[in-house]
């Protein structure tokens, strides 16, 4: 989000899933919050792949801020499957089937 390479929908999608995640962690008795968080994470994996592949700059000479921003977006995308696994384990601990 530092360097306006990716559109605003990338930031809005990830920040809204973050807000649902905070809600899911705070409300320990709610199974629906965990399901919504897991669904949001899975959806953002797909939309992040689309955003990065469509809006990746085609220039050979990228600035430092651009490379850092895209690198952090890719790093976030690589960590999301681990987050999905951990949220799924939390879902199972709360009584999900």
pLDDT tens digits, 3-59: 778 888 999 999 999 999 999 999 988 899 999 999 999 999 999 999 999 988 887
Q: Is residue 4 assigned to a domain?
A: no
Q: Is residue 18 assigned to a domain?
A: no
Model pTM? Answer: 0.85
**What residue numbers bound the domain in which 35 lies?**
29-95
Domain count, the chain: 1
pLDDT tier at 2, thresholds 50, 70, 90: low
Contacts of 5 (CB under 8 A, 6+ apart): 55, 56, 57, 66, 69, 70
Taking the C-alpha atoms of residue 44 and residue 59, their distance in angstroms, rounded to an integer, is: 26
Q: Is residue 34 assigned to a domain?
A: yes
Q: Is residue 12 assigned to a domain?
A: no
Q: Is residue 40 assigned to a domain?
A: yes
Taking the C-alpha atoms of residue 15 and residue 11, their distance in angstroms, rounded to an integer, is: 6
């Amino acid at each position: 989000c530092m360097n306006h390479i990716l559109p605003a929908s990338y930031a809005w999608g990830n920040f809204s899933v973050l807000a649902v995640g905070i809600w899911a962690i705070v409300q320990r008795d709610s199974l629906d919050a965990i399901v919504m968080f897991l669904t949001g994470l899975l959806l953002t994996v797909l939309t992040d792949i689309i955003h990065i592949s469509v809006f990746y700059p085609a220039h050979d000479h990228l600035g430092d801020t651009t490379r850092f921003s895209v690198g952090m977006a890719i790093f976030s995308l690589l960590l999301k499957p681990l987050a999905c696994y951990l949220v799924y384990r939390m879902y199972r601990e709360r009584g999900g089937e």
